[in-house]
Amino acid sequence: MALNQKKSKELFKKAKRIMPGGVNSPVRAFRAVGGTPLFIDSAKGSKIYDVDGNEFIDYVLSWGPMILGHSHPKVVNALKKAAEKGTSFGAPTPLEVELAAMVRKAYPSMEIIRMVNSGTEAAMSAIRAARGFTGRDRIVKFEGCYHGHADGILVQAGSGAATFGVPTSPGVPKDYARNTITLPYNDLRAFRNICKKTGKNIACVIIEPVVGNSGCILPKPGYLEGLRKITRQYGIVLIFDEVMTGFRISYGGAQKAFKIKPDMTCLGKVIGGGLPVGAYGGKKEIMSRIAPDGPVYQAGTLSGNPLAMTAGIETLKILSRPETYKKLMAKSMALEEGMKDAAKRAGIQTRFYRAGTMFCTYFTDREVHNFSDAAKTDMAAFAAFFRKMLERGVNLAPSGYEAGFMSLAHSQADINRTVRAAYASFREIK
């Protein structure tokens, strides 16, 4: 039942001669699961179509942004109109004010907001603001949390207790990495200990409140509350990187769902409705340090771009309707129940985790609470599962460390088909 990937294979061959790994973002290359990536021709609603004419139910959704489903008519029409008025001005527009106001209404902790072009920029700039505000250099991040590819955060500690940064990626100067402390997620004691040692030198803690970049890892009860309390004691800026969880876990993100008020927040993905956007913001006293109000420099030629703002505004308009999240949650819950039931019937050990509309299946018989738990799950089983699902017309993210996403466009029929495919695939790889 192998897929016909003739055209994708030809394109991949050409692409590899001209781009690193043939791609513009590494996981797209399918290295973790083997085979040839799908070269996409188009997408509509819950479906994505490759250049060979294959159709897939899509749970990648451009890695999160397409929460309304692909090419939503309201978004596409608004984009057409916006494009006709001009695609970039390098000057303020009413659209930026409108989107910022919508974001602040959903995230009241973001008193002042700056738009940027990606989640990477948002996280990088939020950290710079926190350093500028506190006058401290050190930052704390957590294993398995991704905050984009800026130098100082491409760092991952070894296992065990708190380790001072060793650069994970060549090209990151040791001097940068030295200021990044990496700790295990869900381990409040490790954080308390590092604060006792060097808390007064730590500018900020940056965290994915639910870890979506090692699958889908939920915070233990009290963990986020503990971080909030300790950071306050030491004057450390608490940054929630909600680039993935923002408008995904709930309209108000993880901070609304877990009732925690961070000092700063990073957004991206959904707020761009499929166009390149990021945003960061937080307390007035911190954000007033940003240029031109203050000395912390941060800028962008295309920041607040009218097309990106338009896609974001139209997306949030639909998301802010009262029934939208009820529908999204019902669909996500139906998928969860179906997937758990399929695994049980097939007699295979998996753990399915879900936070709102993001989810992940781990192949393991143990609970997953942090990155090292995730790393111990059976990634070969995931890769086999991924390939079987693809052959059956279901597009999952091509790595066991990635989350899947639900959209408003996924129908009960899509979910049923997904669950049937999962049951058959589970049985085959058992």
Question: Where on the chain is the footprint of ligand PLP (CB under 6 A)?
Answer: 118-120, 123, 146-148, 208, 212-213, 241, 243-244, 268, 278
Nearer Cβ to ligand PLP, position 113 or 421?
Answer: 113
Q: Which amino acid is at 215?
A: G
- E strands, 51-144, are 55-58, 112-116, 138-142
The distance of closest approach from Cβ of residue 355 to ligand PLP in the complex, given in angstroms and rounded to an integer, is: 13
Active site residue 269: yes
User: Pairing state of beta strands 180-183 and 163-164?
Assistant: antiparallel
CA gap 368, 415 in Å, rounded: 25
Nearer Cβ to ligand PLP, position 99 or 415?
Answer: 99
The distance of closest approach from Cβ of residue 135 to ligand PLP in the complex, given in angstroms and rounded to an integer, is: 25
Nearer Cβ to ligand PLP, position 219 or 278?
Answer: 278
DSSP 250: B
Residue nearest to ligand PLP according to CB distances in the complex: 119
Cβ atoms of residues 103 and 271 within 8 Å: yes
Residue with tokens 């890769």: 383
The distance of closest approach from Cβ of residue 270 to ligand PLP in the complex, given in angstroms and rounded to an integer, is: 11
The distance of closest approach from Cβ of residue 13 to ligand PLP in the complex, given in angstroms and rounded to an integer, is: 26
The distance of closest approach from Cβ of residue 3 to ligand PLP in the complex, given in angstroms and rounded to an integer, is: 27
Residue with tokens 């006709």: 84
Cβ count near 137 (within 10 Å): 14
Nearer Cβ to ligand PLP, position 150 or 424?
Answer: 150
Q: If 0-12 CB within 10 Å is exposed, 13-18 middle and 19+ buried, where does residue 384 land?
A: middle
Dig out the tokens for 64 from the structure: 């999160």
**Active-site residue, from 50, 241, 263, 414:** 241
Cβ atoms of residues 75 and 273 within 8 Å: yes
Cβ count near 369 (within 10 Å): 18
Q: Which amino acid is at 144?
A: G
DSSP 386: H
Nearer Cβ to ligand PLP, position 26 or 34?
Answer: 26
Cβ atoms of residues 107 and 335 within 8 Å: no
Nearer Cβ to ligand PLP, position 199 or 268?
Answer: 268
Helix H or strand E encompassing 345: helix 324-346
**Active-site residue, from 59, 107, 146, 401:** 146
**Active-site residue, from 47, 141, 256, 269:** 269
Phi, psi values for residue 374, rounded to 5°: -65, -40
The distance of closest approach from Cβ of residue 299 to ligand PLP in the complex, given in angstroms and rounded to an integer, is: 17
Catalytic positions are 146, 241, 269
